[in-house]
Homo-oligomer: A and B are copies of this chain.
């Protein structure tokens, strides 16, 4: 991986402090595994607004394009809440997804055995849960036009958004879901409101066509989004891969993550298309959790999701499977050893802060 470039974007809130723990892991790798890749840093979100006046500077986008992978922290916080819509920190991540064509967001919701009791759900309901949510991330209501808040002749306001999907956008993310299902337990649950929405009707039709033509060996189930929320809460083990549009994928992946009880543990990857000439695939890795402004700067955030995002990056973008596994195993061992940050604290365990957790992971390595 000597010629690979990694762009690190810490962002806001707990982003910088959990990213610091990733640096320790990288240091260890360089020292002990004779690995070397180039590391760039960049500005994004509120931090970028404060420094250069915009949440996603062109320079950051250019660096992201030039890099082989992006490791993203998190963005947003009350400090920037009153900014106009088109200057909000969230544009940091939204523009990166859009400009790099990162259309498939992979969000594993995995219940690790040492953390079964951290869930708000009963142990027998969540033990062994292993769900992968595949969320479309460059289309739908997040970007559809027209959109806006307009003032009508009588002075009243009207706000509107367009939820729109082209069949090719649906087909390509469906393929990602089906491909993953093949390597997992062979089942895709595709989620929409085809009983209410036209884009949902097309979604169901296209997913069905791709399934029939290319993935007849995978089991496909269609489910309404409301029912899926219910089923995730009551019987999560029925799911393998869940496929959803940008908005349903957002809500349902957060729900799937929450039911593991260990949000601070969960990484995610957002992938673009493979370039047919260069073979390059843009990819961004980020924890599922947000910037958590309420605990930022207190040194108590859980760095594991960020560290595991880095492991995902090693595997998917740098082809360093062995190193990825080392990092993942180290995190599991630290948990099995009884260390817990506040978010996953349980009776009888040792409560530690961000840096003790990060150091422990390096020690296990």
Shortest C-beta distance, A191 to chain B (Å), equals 10
A251: contacting residue among B149, B157, B158, B226, CB under 8 A: B226
Residues 229-255 of A at the B interface (beta carbon under 8 Å): 229-231, 233-235, 247-248, 250-255
User: Which one of B149, B196, B226, B258 contacts A198 once the chains associate, using CB atoms below 8 Å?
Assistant: B149
A-B contact pairs, 6 of them (CB 8 A): A120-B121, A162-B162, A226-B251, A227-B254, A230-B255, A233-B255
Flag whether A142 is at the interface (Cβ < 8 A).
Answer: yes
* A166 proximity list for chain B (CB < 8 A): 156-158
What is the interface size of chain A, counting residues whose CB is below 8 A from a CB of the partner? 63
Check A53 for interface membership: any CB of B closer than 8 A: no
Contact bitstring A184-228, B, C-beta under 8 A = 1, else 0: 000000000101111111110110000000000000000001110
A156 in contact with B168 (CB, 8 Å): yes
A270→B255 CA distance, assembly (Å): 26
CA distance A148 to B164 in the complex (A): 10
Is A316 at the interface (CB under 8 A from chain B)?
A: no
How distant is A253 from chain B, measured CB to nearest CB, in Å? 8
Nearest neighbor of A250 in chain B, beta-carbon distance = B226
> Does chain B have a CB within 8 A of A296?
no
- Tell me the minimal C-beta distance from A147 to chain B in angstroms: 5
**Which B residues lie within 8 Å of A290 (CB)?**
227
A158-169 Cβ-contact flags toward B at 8 Å (1 or 0)? 111111111110
Q: How many copies does the complex hold?
A: 2
Q: Top 4 closest A-B pairs, CB basis?
A: A159-B202, A230-B258, A159-B199, A160-B164
Given the interface contacts A122-B120, A156-B166, does A259 sit within 8 Å of B247 by beta carbon?
no
Q: Which of B76, B156, B159 contacts A201 (CB 8 A)?
A: B159
- Say yes or no: B196 contacts A90, CB within 8 Å: yes
Q: Are A157 and B148 in contact (CB under 8 A)?
A: no
Asked if A49 is an interface residue, CB under 8 A from chain B, the answer is no
Instruction: Say yes or no: B120 contacts A159, CB within 8 Å.
Output: no
A198 CB to closest chain B CB, in angstroms? 5
Which of the listed residues A122, A158, A251 has the most CB atoms from chain B within 10 Å of its own CB?
Answer: A251
A94 CB within 8 Å of chain B: yes
- A257 located at the interface, meaning its Cβ lies under 8 Å from any Cβ of chain B in the complex: yes
Chain B residues with CB below 8 A from A206, complex form: 157
A229 touches B255 (CB 8 A): yes
In the complex, which residues of chain B have a beta carbon less than 8 angstroms from the beta carbon of A149? 198, 201-202
Q: Does A196 lie within 8 Å of B226, measured CB to CB?
A: no
A16 at the interface (CB under 8 A from B): no
Which residue of chain B has the shortest Cβ distance to A148 in the bound complex?
Answer: B198
Structural contact, B159 and A162, CB atoms closer than 8 A:
no
- Given contacts A193-B247, A234-B261, whether A199 and B229 have CB atoms under 8 Å apart is no
Output the least CB separation between A229 and chain B (Å): 4
A162's contact among B161, B200, B202, by CB below 8 Å, is which?
Answer: B161
Q: How far is the CB of A221 from chain B (nearest CB, A)?
A: 13
Additional pairs, 9, CB under 8 Å, beyond known A85-B201, A159-B198, A227-B254: A88-B195, A144-B160, A147-B198, A156-B167, A158-B164, A229-B254, A233-B255, A233-B258, A255-B255
Do A196 and B141 contact each other (CB < 8 Å), given the known contacts A120-B233, A122-B122? yes
A125 in the interface, Cβ–Cβ < 8 Å?
Answer: yes
Q: In whole Å, how far is A212's beta carbon from the nearest beta carbon of chain B?
A: 15
Q: Are B230 and A254 in contact (CB under 8 A)?
A: yes
Whose C-beta in chain B lies nearest to the C-beta of A147?
B198
A166 to B144, CA, bound (A): 19
